[in-house]
Structure formats: C-alpha cells, structure tokens
Structure 1
Amino acid sequence: MPGIDPDSWRIHVKDFMHQDARNRHKLFNQKSKSNVFEFVNGLMQLMGQRGQLLSKYCGIGIYKRPSNESDMKKVRNWVRNRAYNLMLLKVINDSTYYGASPIITFDSDQKDGWAENLFVGDQCTFLYGYISRGIHVPIPNYVKPGSHPCLELADVFAFLVARSIHCKIERKQYEWNLSEMGNVCYTYFHEGGIARYITTTELPEQLLQNC
C-alpha cells in the first residue's frame, strides 16, 4: 500500500483473499483478484529469496473425521497438540545446535494454556535436556495479531500450505507454486505415530498417502 503508513494496517489473508472480505475492508475494497495474486506471489518470492535468513517450519497434523461427532473436539485437539509439539521440539533442536535460543511467539493476545502446558511438560523430560543442549528457552509469549512483519508473513505462509493440502485432498487445482517460498521443514507423524521431518520446496507426498 504505497503512501499509507505500514504501521496502520496488517496483512491477514482472511481480509483480502475473497471478494466479500475485500469489499468490507477499507484498504482492500478496491483491489481485484489479480492484485491479490500478484501481492501473494511477491510475498512468496520474498520468503524464497531470504532463504538463509528466514527459516520456515510447518507442523502438520491430518486426521479423518471421527464417525462419532462428539469425539471431534478431542481428536482435533490431540492432533493439534502432537503437531505443535513435534514442530516445537524440532525448532528448539535446530536453534540450539547453533547456540541460539528461539523465541516462540503466538499471534494472539489471548493466552492458550494448552501450548504453555505442552512446553512446560517437554522441559520435564530427559529428552529436552539433550534437544535444548542446556540453553534456556523462554516459555511462549503472546502478542497482538499482526504486530510484527514476521507474524504477517507467517499468516500468509500458513494459508498457502493449508490451501495446498486442501487442494491435494479435494483433487483441485492449486493456485500457487509452493517452491517459490524455498525450502520448508515439514514435521509430521507417519502412520503408527512415528515422528518424521523433511526439508523440501514442495509439499511432501507422503503426508497425503492415506487421504
């Protein structure tokens, strides 16, 4: 938005991806679908060009809807916790390898107890001492949504990966090329609950083997 103070607006995919949302937004209401695609492509290229300065991690958990709807929340939370925990430990392991202490930030000004509880629980395990290499990692902090440029990029990044998975499962044409963003470390659980991770420019095919 040239000519507009960058601190006065935020990048949130939900505000500009669909025409109805754009019509309701005071800054995006004059933007067309082609403008949106051009903008998103530019952000993808920015993330790809900063490959050595910007590490991208994506924790994925895919599950089938349970036959009993009353179990949906329990299943969803279990998968969410597993996906988050695996990615968190991978980020900590990779950061402390280089002597760094990662700062885990949630794009939310409302504290989520589950995330903090998982983190504290990890710190009580023998494995955590090995992964952290004795380096102190502070508990996750919570900030106002879109309050930092990296959080805005993360919002777009999360949407693009989720959209890619959706299109793969629904056998739809995907609108973008994930490789534009460069390497991404995907963490996930393989069949049988075995933790896996892979760094690639494309969505790992093994993620969707049973979908």
Structure 2
Amino acid sequence: MPKRPPFLPEEIANIHKLCDSCGKIVRPNFWSEFDGPFIPIYPDGTKGEKGAFIQISATTSCGCGAKTSFDIEAKRLKHFIHFYGDEAERQVRNYDLLVYSLIGGTSGQIQQIEEDVRALKCEVLPDIDPESWRIHTTEMMDSKKRIQHGVYKHISSKKIIPFFEGCTNIFRKNEEFSWNICSIGFLKSPSNKRKRRTYLKDGRITVHQALLSYAIHRSTKKELRPMFTLDASRPIINDPHLEGWSYDTYNGSRCFLANAFLSHSNDINAPNFVAPGSHPCLELADVHAYFAARNLAKRTTKQRAEISLKEFGKFSYLIMLDNNSMDYLTGDDIPNKYIPS
C-alpha cells in the first residue's frame, strides 16, 4: 500500500544543491520513510502553535559522505480554507477510471456557494424545502431510479440536464476565487481479479493522496490551513468519522520528508468523512466527479457526454501517469493525450 505523497510540485521536486565536497548534485531525501511524522513538536503545556518547534531545514548525505542542508520554507497559517470532496469510478474496456473532485474555498466563498445551490434547488422544485433533499447525480441521471425517488420523480426528464447546467453555472460564477481540484487516473486493469483488486486499491489511494498533497501545498503556501470534508464510503457511526484506508495512508505519508516541504512544516488534520451530500459543496463535488468520469469515459470511444468538462470552468487537474506519479495542469479540460483510445 503506497504511503508516500505521490505529488510534488516542480518548485519542490527541482530542489537541489552541489555537494561542497565532491561537486555532485544532491537532493533532499524526500522518499525515505522515517520513524516519526514531520510535524511541529509541542512542548508540555503548549497550546496551538505558540512555542512549537518548527522544522526549518533538513540534511541529506551525499554519496561521498558529506552532508548538505536544505531550507524548508515554514509558514504560519492564519486562516482556514475548506475542501469538500467526492469520487466517481467507471470501468472503461480494460481500464478502471478513477475521479476525485474537491470543491474548495474560504468561508465567505463557501457561504456563497451554499446560497447558490439552495437557490437552484428552489428553482427546479419550488414547493419542496431545498434542505430536505440532496443532489445525487447517479440516481437523478438514471430514469428508472429517478421516477422511484420521493423527490426526484417531481423533476421531469426535460429538466434534468438544465438542472445540472445550472450546477455548472455555479462553478463558473465562482471560479475566479475557487480552489477546485480534480485528481484522475486511468488504470489498465489486470485480467486476474485478485491482482485487479490490489491494483485498484493502490490506485485509489494514489489519486486520493495526490489530491490531498496538492491541496495542502497550495493552501499552506498562501498561509491557509486546509480542512477536508469528504463523502463517507461506509455508514457513519461516530463523529468525527475517520476511514481507516485514508487515515492510515495519510498519517503514513507524514513520515516522509516530502510532507514537511508540502505542508510548509505544518500539522494538517486528516480528512473527516461525513454522510454523502450532507453539505452543498459535497453535492457539487458529486456532480463534477460524475460528469468528469462520464465525459472521460465517453471520450475513449469518441463520444460526447451531455455536459462537457469545459462547462464547469477552471479546475486544477492532477492526472495519474503510473501508479505512483502524477502530472499537473490548470484549465477547463483534459487534453486527449491523457485519455486512452
């Protein structure tokens, strides 16, 4: 099970120095796992970040034995930024397609999105309290499930796509200040079922961890503390609800030096998992993940989905190149070179 952060921005990945002794290139030891996490150390009686010991440098040994020190850009985080995430999967011929979408923003931006989602719900179903129902894209797009649903059955088939186009309008309306991120992976599925399950499990973790790694780096660089709220994959029993596969791999990733560089030497909370669709931004994350997966799956056979990625506006996209590395781009679409044909 991979634990190390699978994504490093170029400004970190390219860090290097020449050894003072032999002149060879030396890089930080990003990918060796250490016994403890790279997080601030809080002396007894210390509250919050006041008085904490922060790591501001790391030392790497050259092959010649000389040691080289690298500075870590430590940041003090001043405000919160909130991320809400959901996922979608498709099996496309001999590929498994994994998509994980994060909708992010500061408290004011999130409040605006909440208001926009409520207004859109009132527009399509004016006689039903918008707080009483949730957007679940898979069921709304499935005509059989829709007519059997207590609320969705009141939305005519002619209004379904216009409703989701209304969702894309919310994305575009708020894109100037958005922190929206999407991680994508096409995994070539092994024919052996047991190997496929293992490969798929590792792929899910890579897509998930890449998303968190990028969001943590981008947020902390701006002196913002990211808080992650994700759709739970199993019933909620306790609050907070932490899912082992995510919690264990996230905690494991913090034992790599890369985490100190990504987090700017800060301790970031593990994601909290909540009931699906329990926040308007989770509903929008569900919409984007569904149509991103549908769009990419159809493009493998030169077809078009009802709603294109471009209609959602600008996203930061992370695309899996293999099972432990990612490519990165910002824009309103995924280039065809990343899509199997």
Using the size of structure 1 for normalisation, the TM-score is 0.92
Who is 1:180 aligned against? 311
Q: Distance in 2 between matches of 1:117 and 1:10?
A: 30
Number of residue equivalences: 210
Paired residue for 1:86, among 210, 217, 223? 210
Is 1:72 equivalent to 2:203 in the alignment?
Answer: no
Call closer, same or farther: CA 1:130–1:35 in 2, change over 3 Å. Answer: same
Q: Distance in 2 between matches of 1:126 and 1:65?
A: 32
* Conserved 8 A contact 1:101-1:136: no
Greater CA radius of gyration, 1 or 2?
2
Who is 2:287 aligned against? 156
Deviation digits for residues 90-118 of structure 1, max 9, x if unmatched? Answer: 01011111111111112113642111111
* Conserved 8 A contact 2:206-2:323: no
* Conserved 8 A contact 1:189-1:196: yes
What is the DSSP-based 3-state SS (H/G/I as helix, E as strand, rest coil) of the residue aligned with 2:334? coil
Q: Which protein has the bigger strand share?
A: 2
Q: Distance in 1 between matches of 2:199 and 2:158?
A: 38
What is the DSSP-based 3-state SS (H/G/I as helix, E as strand, rest coil) of the residue aligned with 1:133? coil
Moved more, 168-177 or 144-153: 168-177
What residue ranges of structure 2 are gaps of 5+ in the alignment?
1-124
Q: Give the residue type in structure 2 aligned to 1:57.
A: I
Call closer, same or farther: CA 1:107–1:173 in 2, change over 3 Å. Answer: same
Q: Give the residue type in structure 1 aligned to 2:321.
A: H
Q: Give the residue type in structure 2 aligned to 1:16.
A: M
What residue ranges of structure 1 are gaps of 5+ in the alignment?
none
Q: Distance in 2 between matches of 1:194 and 1:145?
A: 29
Alpha-carbon shift at residue 35 of structure 1 (Å):
0.5
Using the size of structure 2 for normalisation, the TM-score is 0.59
Structure 1 runs of 4+ with >6 Å offset: none
Q: Which protein has the bigger helix share?
A: 1
Call closer, same or farther: CA 1:124–1:174 in 2, change over 3 Å. Answer: same
Moved more, 71-80 or 52-61: 52-61
Alpha-carbon shift at residue 191 of structure 1 (Å):
5.2
Is 1:189 equivalent to 2:320 in the alignment?
Answer: yes
Q: Distance in 1 between matches of 2:335 and 2:249?
A: 26
Who is 1:97 aligned against? 221
Call closer, same or farther: CA 1:191–1:10 in 2, change over 3 Å. Answer: closer
